[in-house]
């Protein structure tokens, strides 16, 4: 048992030392990764939430059909989507952000629509009986009640975006996929982990941060 423990220690120390030596590069790549994810997720929010509000006001058949159509973007492999965008947008940051944007729309849209549609009917009826206009009911009752569901979609989209952004390195967009791809090519496990570990920690951190935002936005009555 003692021999096994001593043989494992250098490997752990080797990885820790490797990560420490490359901390500046990892930090730079993490910021690049965060920038790509933030841009893609931000654009997704700008499109998905207003679209969800609009669809909820129309027919359910139109809404479901639109959401399902947009949901087909989730079935396209990430590398295939990036490859499809290259002839139109070239390589680098722009096609990467567009791909992340397309992947982020569906979960936010689905949850925005569902959250508004399923907002407490009793609360909506009471607000209407008190004389609130449809706009007031939306902004003061339905949207606040839908916040937990909407934020669940945002958190899902954020985690998907952080994971998918590692593939952006294939088209020269940078990010934490750079050491992963280089490590695969060189069959270097430490280099792969120098990108994979920060990416996983980034996904967990973003999800935790959005959880705090959700708690701040959630109505106290919930």
Burial tier of 35 (Cβ tally within 10 Å: 0-12, 13-18, 19+): middle
What is the pLDDT at residue 11?
Answer: 46
Residue 221 confidence (pLDDT): 64
Quote the pLDDT of residue 14: 86
pLDDT at 222: 55
Cα–Cα distance for residue pair 171/163, rounded to 1 Å? 16
Question: What are the DSSP calls for 144-162, one per residue?
Answer: HHHHHHHHHHHHHHHHHHH
Per-residue pLDDT of the chain (222 residues; tens, 9 = 90+): 444 444 444 444 589 999 999 999 999 999 999 999 999 999 999 999 999 999 988 889 999 999 999 999 999 999 999 999 999 999 999 999 999 999 999 999 999 999 998 887 888 888 888 888 888 888 888 899 999 999 999 999 999 999 999 999 999 999 999 999 999 999 999 999 999 999 999 999 999 999 999 999 887 765
Do the beta carbons of residue 165 and residue 33 sit within 8 Å? yes
Reference 67, options 100, 101, 105; nearest CA is 105
Contact 136, 127 (CB under 8 A): yes
| Distance between CA atoms of residues 86 and 44, nearest Å | 20
> Tokens 């004389």 appear where?
131
pTM for this entry: 0.89
| pLDDT at residue 1, rounded to an integer | 43
pLDDT at 177: 97
């Amino acid at each position: 048992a003692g021999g096994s423990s001593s043989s494992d220690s250098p490997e752990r120390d080797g990885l820790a030392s490797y990560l420490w030596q490359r901390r500046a590069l990892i930090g730079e790549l993490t910021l690049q990764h965060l920038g790509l994810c933030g841009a893609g997720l931000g654009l997704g929010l700008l499109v998905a939430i207003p679209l969800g509000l609009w669809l909820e006001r129309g027919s359910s058949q139109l809404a479901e059909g639109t959401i399902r159509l947009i949901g087909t973007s989730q079935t396209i492999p990430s590398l295939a989507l990036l490859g499809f965008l290259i002839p139109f947008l070239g390589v680098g940051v722009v096609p990467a952000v567009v791909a992340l944007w397309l992947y982020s729309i569906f979960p936010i849209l689905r949850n925005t629509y569902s959250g508004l549609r399923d907002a407490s009917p009793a609360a909506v009826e009471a607000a209407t009986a008190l004389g609130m206009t449809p706009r007031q009911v939306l902004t003061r009752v339905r949207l606040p009640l839908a916040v937990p569901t909407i934020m669940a979609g945002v958190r899902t989209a954020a985690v998907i975006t952080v994971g998918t952004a590692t593939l952006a390195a294939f088209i020269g967009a940078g990010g934490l996929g750079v050491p992963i791809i280089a490590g695969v090519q060189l069959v270097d496990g430490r280099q792969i982990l120098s990108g994979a570990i920060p990416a996983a920690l980034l996904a967990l951190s973003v999800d935790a941060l959005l959880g705090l935002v959700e708690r701040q936005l959630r109505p106290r009555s919930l």
